[in-house]
Amino acid sequence: MRGVVALTGATGFIGSALARRLIQEGWWVRALHRSPSPPSHLTGLSLEWVRGTLGDRDCLEGLVGDADVVIHCAGVLRGITDADFYPANVEAVSRLASIAAGRSPAPRFLLMSSLAAREPELSPYAASKRMGEVALSKVSDRLSWTALRPPAVYGPGDRELLPLLRLMLHGIAPIPGCKDARFSMLYVEDLAEATVKWLTGEIREKRAFELDDGHPQGYTWYEVVETFERIRGRRVVHCRIPESILNLTARLNKMAASVIGYSPMLTQGKVRELRHPDWVCDNGPFRRVVDWTPKVRLEEGLRRTLGVTLN
């Protein structure tokens, strides 16, 4: 066994890919879950489960225990106000980091932040991811930490992007972003691999690193559409969704959320994120200190995500 990793968010999309990869690499994974029983898609994995929530300090003390590494991958991605995002994305970072910093020796700490943290003014989510990094930096003198800032992550098990990707596979591409907007992407297993490589490397700098699939200057929506055309072997009909329609949908979502009490994905903050012209990453600084190369290109990643074999 290589050591013990205390992991939050293992029941989610990215966290479950991380858990699988860590176990494969010989790490003992102690993972947090808050539902009555761990999710069925992870029952085959030899994980040590700790039941509780990010708000429960005693439970987090038990989760961190004697761990060599803490990975905080849990996060809230859907919501409207700061109060929806801050408990998991900021306060839980402070709580976990202070527990880790109080151990002797202190475990290394990895925060799954987001590229959104680069533009905190755009949305409460983006602001919370930046504030999470700030919370971590406050214990800098007592903890060796790194934050990763992935762009849009996709792959099997994803729930947020999948409906849009499925629609594109069926030949219809509603384009929510601006015409010239560019954005990076990252396949989930490459992110898990980056994490595993970070674990075995020695990073001295305490800072946030951007990560992407290495495609120069990211993608435009039209390049994504062309990729789907190659996958389908047929045309994809694309249409731009005007900002006014996105905003109207976001406002309706907000009203519905206040009546039904659910967390919508498309909010006005999310519209500002979607309309932002530059979500291009530079993974150079990370690759200079960690021996990691992303392997999965967009077409292959989309095929794997959607279960489409080569024609």
Residues contributing to the site for ligand NAP (CB under 6 A)? 9, 11-15, 32, 34-35, 53-54, 73-77, 88, 112, 114, 129, 150, 152-153, 160
Minimum CB distance to ligand NAP, residue 16 (Å): 8
Instruction: Name which of 245 and 282 has its Cβ closer to ligand NAP.
Output: 282
Minimum CB distance to ligand NAP, residue 245 (Å): 23
Report in angstroms the alpha-carbon separations of 33 from 36, 74, 210, 219.
Answer: 8, 10, 27, 35
Minimum CB distance to ligand NAP, residue 185 (Å): 9
d(CA 86, CA 127): 9
Minimum CB distance to ligand NAP, residue 236 (Å): 22
* Pair 198, 21: CB distance under 8 Å: no
Instruction: Name which of 171 and 214 has its Cβ closer to ligand NAP.
Output: 214
Minimum CB distance to ligand NAP, residue 230 (Å): 23
* Residue 307: its H or E element: none
The SS3 assignment for 111 reads strand
The tokens of 223 are what?
Answer: 């390049």
* Residue 143: its H or E element: none
Instruction: Name which of 101 and 153 has its Cβ closer to ligand NAP.
Output: 153
Q: With CA atoms as reference, report the closest residue to 75 among 132, 151, 5.
A: 132
Residues 6+ apart with CB under 8 A from 159: 13
Minimum CB distance to ligand NAP, residue 132 (Å): 8
Instruction: Name which of 38 and 174 has its Cβ closer to ligand NAP.
Output: 38
Instruction: Name which of 77 and 106 has its Cβ closer to ligand NAP.
Output: 77
Report in angstroms the alpha-carbon separations of 158 from 12, 28, 213.
Answer: 9, 24, 17
Instruction: Name which of 101 and 158 has its Cβ closer to ligand NAP.
Output: 158
